[in-house]
Homo-oligomer: A and B are copies of this chain.
Amino acid sequence: MSAPPGSLAMVPLIERKKRGEALSSRELEWLCSEFTAGRIPDYQVAAWLMAVRWRGMDEEETLALTRAIVNTGRTLSWDGAGSTVVDKHSTGGVGDKTTLVLVPLLAAAGLRFAKMSGRGLGHTGGTLDKLESIAGFRVDLPLEEVRRQVERIGCALVGQGRDLAPADGALYALRDVTATVDSVPLIAASVMSKKLAAGASVIILDVKHGSGAFMPTFAAAEALALAMVSIGTGAGRKVRAVLSPMEEPLGLAVGNALEVREAVAALQGGGPADLRELVLALGAEVLVLAGAGEGVSGARQKLTTLLDSGAGLDRFVDLVAAQGGDVEMVRRPELLPRAAFVTEVRSREPGAAWVSGVDARIIGEAALALGAGRRTKADRADPAAGVLLRARTGDRVAAGAVLAEVHAASTSRISEGEALVREAFRFSEAAVEASGFEVCAVG
C-alpha cells in the first residue's frame, strides 16, 4: 500500500504547525477551501489536526480558522427591520431541555431567536429528537420558511443547515476517527463557525462542566468558554458564556417526551429549580447583551414575569403550531408518547440514607439503554423512553423508596436501564446537602 502524493503545498503548513508556529489567515482559508473541495487528502489534514491538538492555537489563529470554515459555505444575514437576532449553543448534557424553554421565552421578551440544533449522540440528548416526540413536528424547514416564521412569531427551532460551514462537518468527521476531538481551539472553531454562519448578532453559550459534560472540569469548561467568546467577539458579535454544572442531570427528566413535559412545566412557571435557574441566567445575559437597557437583575425579573404569566408557553404553542406539531400535546402533555413499560427503581439500601450523588453520565447511558438516544448516527431515538428521577442529591430516602422511573418499549431495555440507574445513585449514611446549582457568566 503506498500513499498518494498528497498536496505539496500542504507539507510546509503541517511542518510549521508541528513546530508550534501559527498559520496565517490566508493559509487557513486555503486549507479549508481546498480540503472541502477534496483537493487536500484526508491524511494530510489528519496530520495537521494532530499537530494542532499538540501545539494549540492562539486566539488570532483560532479566529482565522473559524472564519476560514465559515467561508467554505453560505452565511445567513438577519439585517433589516426587526429586533435583535439571538443564537445559543450548549456543549451538551444529560436532561438539557433548556433550549425548549429559553427560545420561546426570549421570543416573548421581544427578541428573534432562530435556533439550529443537532441530534443526540451517545449519552447526551439532542433538541431535535426532543421536539420530534411531538407528533407532526418538522425540524427540516427550508431556510426561507424559517425566516418568515421568525419574523412572524419570533422564533424557530430547526436542524443545522447543511450548506452552512460545510468544512466543519468534514473536519469533524475526520477528528472523530483520528482522536483529535479534544482540542479547545478545534472545538471552539467548530461551534463558532456554525454560529457565525447562522448570522445572529447575539450569541449565548452554555458550557457545562462535570461528569455528564463534554468538559469534565470547571477549568476545561472555562478555557473552552473563553476561546469561544474570543472568536465571537473577534468576529464582531455580542457573546457571553455561562458555565453550568453537569454532575447530576439537569432537572428530573431524561428522555425526549419526558423532557418536553418538563420544559412545558417550566414554561408554566413550574418545573425543577435548576432548569428554571439556568433558563433565567442564560436569558438575562441575552437581554443584557441585546441592550434591553436594564441590568442582569432587571432582566431576570422581566423573564420571571414572562415565565410565570405563561407568555413563554404561548410562544412555544405558536412555534409548535408553525412547525406542524400537535399543539394538543403541548397543552396536555399527558398526550405525549408514553412507553409500554414503566418501572419504579427502588432503593435497596438497608435503611434510610441520603442520596450523595446521581451521576449524570451514567443516567445518560441509562436513557440510551432504554432507547431514548442513539449509539450510532443511524439509530432511531424512541420518543417515549427515558429516566424520570424521583430523588436527587441531598434527598433522604427511606428503605425501599422510589429513586426513579425507567420508561422503555421492552422489558429487556427496562432491566438494562434499571441496572444503570442503580449504578448512578450514590448513598451516604451521613446527611448530605443538595447540590448547589451555581452558574457563572464569563466573557
Residue ID in chain B nearest A16 by CB atoms: B179
User: Which of B1, B12, B45 contacts A170 (CB under 8 A)?
Assistant: B1
Contacts of A4 in B (CB 8 A): 42
A341 at the interface (CB under 8 A from B): no
- In Å, the complex CA distance between A52 and B238 comes to 41
Residue ID in chain B nearest A173 by CB atoms: B3
Q: Is the CB of A6 within 8 A of B177?
A: yes
User: Which of B37, B44, B50 contacts A51 (CB under 8 A)?
Assistant: B50
A266 at the interface (CB under 8 A from B): no
A15 at the interface (CB under 8 A from B): yes
A261 at the interface (CB under 8 A from B): no
Please classify how large the interface on chain A is, using the bins under 10, 10 to 19, 20 to 34, 35 or more: 35 or more
A291 at the interface (CB under 8 A from B): no
Q: Is the CB of A37 within 8 A of B170?
A: no
Grouping DSSP codes into helix (H, G, I), strand (E, B) and loop, the A interface class, with mixed when no group exceeds half, is helix
Q: In the assembly, how many copies of this chain are there?
A: 2
Kindly identify, within residues 1 to 24 of chain A, every residue whose CB is under 8 Å from any CB belonging to chain B.
1-7, 10-12, 14-15, 18
A361 at the interface (CB under 8 A from B): no
Contacts of A178 in B (CB 8 A): 6, 11, 14, 43-44, 46-47
- In Å, the complex CA distance between A307 and B376 comes to 70
Min distance, Cβ A12 to any Cβ of chain B, angstroms: 8
User: Which of B3, B35, B51, B174 contacts A174 (CB under 8 A)?
Assistant: B3
Q: Is the CB of A43 within 8 A of B174?
A: yes
Contacts known (A1-B35, A3-B170); A179 close to B15, Cβ less than 8 A: yes
Min distance, Cβ A286 to any Cβ of chain B, angstroms: 34
Instruction: Across the A-B interface, give the 9 residue pairs with the lowest CB-CB distance, nearest first.
Output: A6-B177, A47-B178, A50-B50, A14-B179, A43-B46, A42-B43, A15-B179, A46-B46, A3-B173
